[in-house]
Amino acid sequence: MNRQKALMRLIFSLFIMLLFTNSLLLASSNSSAMNSAIEAELDAGFEDSFDDEIADEFSDEFANEQQKEFDPLSGYNRMMTNFNDGLYRHVVFPLGRGYRKITPKQFRESVGNFFLNLEYPVRLVNNLLQLKFQNSLEETERFVVNSTIGLAGLFDPASSWLGIKEHDEDFGQTLGHYGVGGGFYLVLPFFGPSNLRDTLSLVVDWQVDPFFYQEGRSYNLLPINFWQSIGLKSFQYFNQYSDNIEAYENLTKDAIDIYPLLKSVYEQNRQKEIEE
């Protein structure tokens, strides 16, 4: 009980930080608008006394200053990005390639299907929260078909036979759907790019995820304690990403600095997921 109270206090504190961060970002946006107005006045004033080349150079420099993003944890984030990258390349990827050699692709796909099917409550709740009722109905149809004909979710006849695809939604997307900003960028150990909103949202999704153990909850599925749930989730992600090793390597192989690259890719993909 004390641990749960401490966790709730932590979540509340982080939520306050999220609101504060969004306020800062709003203030920064207003400041940028003001700076744009000042820039226009300066350009008009200098137009008569400086040639176009000097004015353009001044404008470009001013614009670059405006484009600096709010990244208060950049030092930590860079360190964690380098840590994760080294972990992936020297530990996870070699293990993943070995795992692929000893397991057939059909086995890895069945493992992925099994986890995906039983995460139905997370997707259902967040589709309902976003008032996506058609998606919620299709998620329910998928769960029924795959749990029966698909042999407890090991196969995905809902997609291959009926063409019913999953509608992957989480609580971070739900908050984004209603206009809650991401807050500052945050790199998580092992899991990689995130932000304050999406990190806090994990706690909410865990409440309905049957693979994440919650003491006293009646619908814990397989794990009988917290550490077993961590092991199951780790295996889920390891199985999933073992087939995506080359995608990461191809993405980062020519990058001089992977930190802004991964940050940009995450933010663009996340925004696309929220808008869908």
Give me 182's structure tokens. 């991401």
Q: Any bridge partners for residue 186, and if so which?
A: 194
> Quick check: pTM over 0.85?
no
Grouping H, G, I as helix, E, B as strand and the rest as coil, residue 20 is helix
Q: What is the DSSP letter of 89?
A: I
Q: What's at 68, amino acid-wise? A: K
CB 153 within 8 A of CB 117: yes
CB 125 within 8 A of CB 162: no
What are the residue ranges of helices labelled H in 67-170? 74-87, 93-102, 105-118, 120-129, 133-148, 157-160
In degrees and rounded to multiples of 5, residue 193 shows phi and psi of -60, 140
Q: Is the dihedral of CA 44, 47, 53, 55 positive or negative?
A: negative
CB 157 within 8 A of CB 149: yes
Neighbours of 72 (CB within 10 A): 12
Token pair 């619908």: residue: 219
CA separation for the pair 172, 125 (Å, rounded): 12
Tens-digit pLDDT profile for the chain (276 aa)?
A: 444 444 444 454 454 444 444 444 444 444 444 444 444 443 444 444 444 444 444 444 434 443 457 899 999 999 999 999 999 999 999 999 999 999 999 999 999 999 999 999 999 999 999 999 999 999 999 999 999 999 999 999 999 999 999 999 999 999 999 999 999 999 999 999 999 999 999 999 999 998 888 887 777 777 778 888 889 999 999 999 999 999 999 999 999 999 999 999 999 999 999 998
